[in-house]
C-alpha cells in the first residue's frame, strides 16, 4: 500500500493537521474547487466519505495538470512506503516535490485535514 505525506507550516508538529498521511488507495475523487485550488478527497479511517482531504494551491487554471500529477504520485512505489507531496525540514522553507512531476503547476501550498 502506498501513502501520501504532506506537512504544512513552520513545523510538522506545532498544530493539529500540520502533518498528515493518507492511504493513496483511499482517494475518492479530485475536484477543481477554484481556478487556483484543487481538492483531493479521501475515505476517512472511520469510513466517512469526504471527511479527509488535501487542498493544493497552484497556478491559475492548472487543475487538470495538478490532478494528473496527483494521480502519478498516488501510483508511485517508494521503498519507504510513502511519497512526499509537500514537506518541511528544520530551518528550510516548505518544499513541494509534486512540482517535480509538472513544472507548470507551481504548487505553492498544500493543506491536509483529517477527521
CA distance 19 to 28: 20
Q: What is the pLDDT of residue 91?
A: 58
Residues 6 and 20: beta-carbon distance below 8 Å: yes
**104 vs 100: CA distance, rounded Å:** 9
35-43 CB contacts, 8 Å cutoff, 24+ apart: 35/60, 35/61, 35/63, 36/60, 38/63, 38/66, 38/67, 38/70, 40/70
DSSP run (H or E) holding 68:
helix 63-74
Average pLDDT, the chain: 85
Rounded Cα distance between 6 and 53, Å, is: 11
pLDDT, residue 76, reads 87
Give the residue-averaged pLDDT of 55-63. Answer: 95
Give the model confidence (pLDDT) of 21-54 as tens digits.
899 999 999 999 999 999 999 998 787 787 799 9
Query: Would you say residue 4 has pLDDT above 70?
Result: yes
> What does the pLDDT look like over 68-114, one tens digit per residue?
999 999 998 777 788 888 887 655 667 888 999 999 999 988 888 88
More confident residue, 77 or 20: 20
Q: Read off the pTM.
A: 0.86
Q: How high is the pLDDT of residue 13?
A: 54
Amino acid at each position: 500500500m502506498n501513502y501520501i505525506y504532506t506537512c504544512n507550516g513552520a513545523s510538522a508538529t506545532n498544530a493539529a493537521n500540520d502533518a498528515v498521511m493518507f492511504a493513496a488507495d483511499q482517494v475518492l475523487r479530485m475536484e477543481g474547487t477554484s481556478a487556483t485550488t484543487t481538492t483531493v478527497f479521501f475515505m476517512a479511517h472511520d469510513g466517512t466519505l469526504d471527511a479527509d482531504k488535501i487542498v493544493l494551491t497552484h497556478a491559475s487554471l492548472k487543475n487538470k495538470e495538478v490532478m494528473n500529477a496527483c494521480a502519478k504520485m498516488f501510483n508511485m512505489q517508494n521503498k519507504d512506503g510513502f511519497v512526499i507531496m509537500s514537506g518541511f525540514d528544520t530551518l528550510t522553507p516548505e518544499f513541494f516535490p509534486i512540482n517535480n512531476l509538472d513544472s507548470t503547476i507551481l504548487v505553492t501550498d498544500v493543506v491536509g485535514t483529517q477527521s
